[in-house]
Structure formats: C-alpha cells, structure tokens
Amino acid sequence: MRVSFHAVTLLVGVLGMCSAEKTCEQGVNCLLPNCMCPTTKLDLPIRRTPQLVILSFDDAVTITNYDFYQELSGMQNPNGCNISMTFFVSHQYNNYSLMYDLYRHGHEIALHSVTHKPDIEHYWRPANYSVWKQEMEDLRTMVTRYGLVSRNEDLGWRAPFLEIGGDEMFRALYDQYALYDCSWTSLKYSGWYVSPNDSKTLPPLFPYTLDHNTEFQDCQIGKCPKNDYRGLWVFPMVDLQDGRGEPCAMLDTCQGNKNDAGIHSFCDENNVYDFLMKNFNNRYHSNRAPFGLYSHYSWFKENDCPDPDNDAHRKGYKRFLDEVNGMHDVYIVSIRKALEWFKEQVSINDLDYFEPFLCNAFPPKNHCLDPLDCIYEDVLGLNEIRFNTCHRPCPANYPWLGNPLGE
C-alpha cells in the first residue's frame, strides 16, 4: 500500500503528506490494517486485550551489554515463545555480528542515526530534510551490509535525544519507507497526569498512523509534524511517573526521591520495582495501551548511590519483568510485533495462533560464522576505532556518514 500511495502522491506533487481531510474516523476514512486513528480506546474489550510490554535499548550493541540482553532473551511469553525486544542502534562502536545474533533470534533492529552527535542545538534541532534522510539512509545501508538485516524490511526509527524534527524528519521517514517513529513523547495521554486545564486524567495513547494528522498528540520535545504521512506509524513514548512524581519517557531520566542523607530511593531495588509496577498497573488496569520501558544500557550501571557497585536498577528491573512475565495476558514483544497486533487486534484467546507472535521450531541459521574485526587509526579524532562486521572484506576506510560503504 505504501508504494502505490507514494506513487500517486508524487504525481499530484504533494509527496504523500498533505490531505484535505483533517478528521480521522476509524472504519470510514481510515481502515485497518493500513490506517489507525489516534485513540485511547479500542473496540476489543479490555479483558480480551493483551497487555503488551515493550523493552527497547538505544545505541550500539557491544560486548559490554550483549550478555545482559541475552539474559533477558531467555524469558518466554504465555505462548511458549521467547520474548522479543527492540534495539535502536547507532553506528559508532556497534558490534554488527552481535547485533546480527540478536536479530536472527527474533529481536528487532531499528535505526537511531549514524553519528548520534551530542550537539542538539546546532545539529539536530536545525536539521533539514537532507540531514535526516542521510542519517537514516546511511545507517540502513550499514545494518543491512554489515549486520545482515534484511533489505526488504521497513525499519523503525528513534531520533537522538528524542529531538523530533517536525515535517523535515517525518518526510525523510516517509521517503525512506520507515515503518514507524518512536521518538514522540506524551504527557497529556499518560494516564496519570492532570494538566492545569483539566480536572481528570486522560487514558494512555495507543499507536496510530499519520494518514490524517489531526495533531491529536501533545508536543513536548522538538518539532512535531503538521502534514499527513500515509501508512507511517507513530508509537508514542507515553511518559512514566518517576519516584518524585515527575514525567520521564526514558528510564535514564526517571529519578527517585532523596532521603535526609541525600541517598536516592532508587538505590534500593524494592523502590525500583515499586516504581515500575506502579506505572505498569496504571496501564494494565486502564486501557492496556502498550507499556514501554525505554532505556540505555548505562542506566543499569550508573547510579548516584554510596556504593558504586550498587545493582538496584538491574535487580529491580529484572524482578519486575519476572513478575509480569508470569501473567497469562502479558506479552513482551518488539515494537514491530506490537504493530502487527494493532493491525489485527487479536483477542488474548487467539494469540496462540497469531503468526507474528509465533516462533521457529528450530534455531535460526547463522550467516555470520566468522566475523571480521577491522581496525582503523586516526579516525573521528580517536587514535583507534574497532569495527566488527559480518561482511567481507574490511572496508578500505571507516564507514561513516556520507560514506557508509567505507570506500
């Protein structure tokens, strides 16, 4: 559908983005599986709606974090298949053979830019269409060439620092045939926040497509799109409520209270567990919109605790997952698989036969048996950069933005 829509819109010169209709009516001008209006309520009764839990991790897959990801991978959903997670990878330091191993075992690889430059004010905030497109396009080339991700897959995207780039970024996503964006945060539709203008909370927001962009979702960070993008999904990053009562979209920004001694409450795994469970229950006992735990691996290692080896984040997180993983109506799936569910909205009773949630009877074949470790000197201001790849031979130059093949 995306290809035919795109061809038509090019003929009329509007790039598939503009529409005279600024209303979205499910079943009228928006039909599943290709279009879903923004909503906080599904037709499926809540008791028959699975609670989808999303685990995503940003930045490079490395030998430092790989074992932790493998540990989580051993959990199984109620249908007996292993859970799946989403990895928003950036290029520098990414170990493509380890990334491929996660991919071939059913996890999702999504895009997070080549450079991940730290300069928000002068690079990401003013970025135009060409910048966004090259960051997406070159990284897509890299994950397919060096990490053997299928060239036929439409990939998801998360903007660095969640600094979404308005119509410049979304037009680039559309032109790259991206499956979805998962950068757009929502406090208004969090299920717990009461704005100064409202007397009640609004339920959490479900994923939706931008076929008819009614600007339904609140805009907190960066620039939000105004135009329409047929078939492009938005997977909202619904804000959690941290230990201080403040909103946080990424676990890295969620904080606990300090006691009289100045020690953070998240130095205690029980408080981490309670924080996660409270937010989960807010979703589970409401409309069962997806519950996303979005993080960087560093969150499990960094802390402001007296003991530098404090492991409360990891222990509380794992204890929470063990708890919800034992529930019959909770499925831990990648964003890609979650969107497949939203296209069909299958009852819990039928998930044992829902193809996107099923697993292979045999281990997947490994096409990266002998990866290369390439070494480049005096690159990007560093004395040495190692580059692990499934593709042979090593590129002549270190692959980077503007030269993804290292020619």
| Residues 146/368, Cβ–Cβ less than 8 Å | no
What's residue 3's pLDDT?
Answer: 47
Angle at 10 between CA 9 and CA 11, to 5 degrees: 90
Say yes or no to pLDDT of 354 above 60.
Answer: yes
E strand segments, 213-368: 229-234, 237-238, 240-241, 247-248, 291-296, 330-332
Average pLDDT value for residue range 334-345: 98
Give me the chain's average pLDDT, please: 93
Measured on CA atoms in the order 286, 333, 149, 87, is the torsion positive or negative? positive
What's residue 195's pLDDT?
Answer: 82
- Residue 173, SS3? helix
* Phi, psi (degrees; rounded to nearest 5) at 278: -60, -45
The predicted model scores a pTM of 0.94
What's residue 270's pLDDT?
Answer: 95
Nearest residue to 55 via CA among 108, 95, 91, 103:
108
| Residues 36/342, Cβ–Cβ less than 8 Å | yes
User: Which residues pair with residue 30 across a beta bridge?
Assistant: 26
Q: What digits encode the pLDDT tens for the residues 200-254?
A: 899 999 999 999 999 999 999 999 999 999 999 999 999 999 999 999 999 999 9
Nearest residue to 216 via CA among 195, 173, 186:
186
What's residue 261's pLDDT?
Answer: 62
Q: Helices H, strands E: what count in the chain?
A: 8, 15
- Domain 2-389, what architecture? Alpha-Beta Barrel (3.20)
Average pLDDT value for residue range 51-78: 97
What's residue 260's pLDDT?
Answer: 61
Q: What digits encode the pLDDT tens for the residues 85-139?
A: 999 999 999 999 999 999 999 999 999 999 999 999 999 999 999 999 999 999 9
Nearest residue to 392 via CA among 375, 368, 363:
368
Say yes or no to pLDDT of 10 above 50.
Answer: no
Q: Mention every residue, 6+ apart, whose C-beta is less than 8 A from residue 66.
A: 95, 98, 101, 102
